Structure 1
Amino acid sequence: MRLLLQTGADATFGLPRGDMMRSRVAVFTDLLTALEDQYEHVTFVDNFADDEMRKPGYWDADRLHLNELGHRRVAARALTALGVPTEPAHA
């Protein structure tokens, strides 16, 4: 059995106090990375650090939720991390 852990995409750009949220996500990301390093059955995908997903083309009109293309990119990144060759979506 394999456990897949992922961070959400970074929706903090342009938000008040976005820097505070990014610093908290950094702590969370460090914990998830440590789990991946400690357990061989854990795969971690850091979507928060994916600069490509910060582009407007991946986000819904509310700029809080990913649109279809954004979800396709997250799925492709997960499959790639699990060893299934895929091409990540591009905006």
Structure 2
Amino acid sequence: MLVASGYVEVNEESDLDEVKAALATAAIEVTEALDEKIVFLIERDQAKEVKAALDHLKDIPGVRTVYLAYYSLECSDEEKDQLLA
């Protein structure tokens, strides 16, 4: 299982609930939400799935910025290259 964690900043505090709902729909766990920040946790089986989930974050309406704080790379070199590309 691969893991990525970080937080997103929303444009306005009023966007918080909508963005949290979009994360839940994408099977991205919300571990905390405060003011204009939402801490997330992504767990997937393959690196390309983690990358797709991270790429999706920036396209959610109401998200201003995405910050990646942690990721695990328990995978092959080929999968690492895909994730970091």
Shorter-chain TM-score above 0.5? no
Larger relative helix fraction:
1
Question: Going by fraction, where is strand more abundant, 1 or 2?
Answer: 2
Higher relative contact order (Cα pairs below 8 Å, separated by 6+ residues): 2
TM-score, length of structure 1 as denominator length: 0.28
Higher-Rg member (1/2): 1
